[in-house]
Amino acid sequence: MAAENARKVRKELAKDSTPAVRLARLNLQGVSAMNRNDIDTARKCFEQAYQLDPGDAFTLNNMGFLAELDGDRETADFYYDKAREANRRNATVTAATRADAEGKRVSQVAQTNDQATQAEIELEQQHRREQGGPIELRRRQPNPDSQAPDIAAPPLVK
């Protein structure tokens, strides 16, 4: 009986395999994985969603969230800026890693995330200025585990 139910579920899921449905499913699965602290699964889902539609506001916001987790605030800021101007930016967030984001427009959530990221960047810059000493320039290295395409510009929700 379980095998038959699984077959029926797979058949139903296959019917809803339009790109928009797959995109929504990947973002929802990623948010659900984040809520279970399964970062690896969330990363895979969000990166697949980005490959499917790199202009989707939900996906861009989620990619910014991943960049923040990686400690890359500049890239996070880049994604949040893009999310505020992207397709579906006025859609309502139905599932998120933070309860206060649910029910808001994606552009509002991205704006809040962007402001928080900017504040962290400015705080870090101020801290470095106070330390003094010589300026240290470092070359950025791409994350070899990341499947997201390189972004020429400087560098979670469903």
Q: Are the beta carbons of 40 and 115 closer than 8 angstroms? A: no
Please give the Cα distance from 110 to 13 (Å, whole number): 30
Number of domain units in the chain? 1
**Predicted local confidence at residue 46, as pLDDT:** 94
pTM score over 0.85: no
pLDDT score of 130:
82
Q: Is residue 75 part of a domain?
A: yes
Residue 155 has pLDDT above 50, yes or no: no
Structural domain of 41: 16-129
Q: What percent of the chain has pLDDT over 70?
A: 76
C-beta separation of 121 from 102 below 8 A: no
Radius of gyration of the chain (CA): 18
Alpha helices, DSSP H only, in 16-105? 19-35, 39-52, 57-69, 73-85
If you average pLDDT over every residue of the chain, what do you get? Answer: 78
**CB 57 within 8 Å of CB 110:** yes
**Whether the predicted pLDDT of 60 surpasses 80:** yes
Q: What are the φ and ψ backbone dihedral angles of 157, each rounded to 5 degrees?
A: -155, 160
Does 108 reside within a domain?
yes
Check which CATH number belongs to the domain holding 116 and give it.
1.25.40.10
Non-local CB neighbours of 29 within 8 Å, separated by 6+ positions: 41, 45
Q: Is the pLDDT of residue 72 over 70?
A: yes
Q: Is 8 part of a structural domain of the chain?
A: no
Q: Is residue 139 in a domain?
A: no
Residues 8-28 have pLDDT tens digits of 656 655 666 788 888 889 988
Q: Is 38 part of any domain?
A: yes
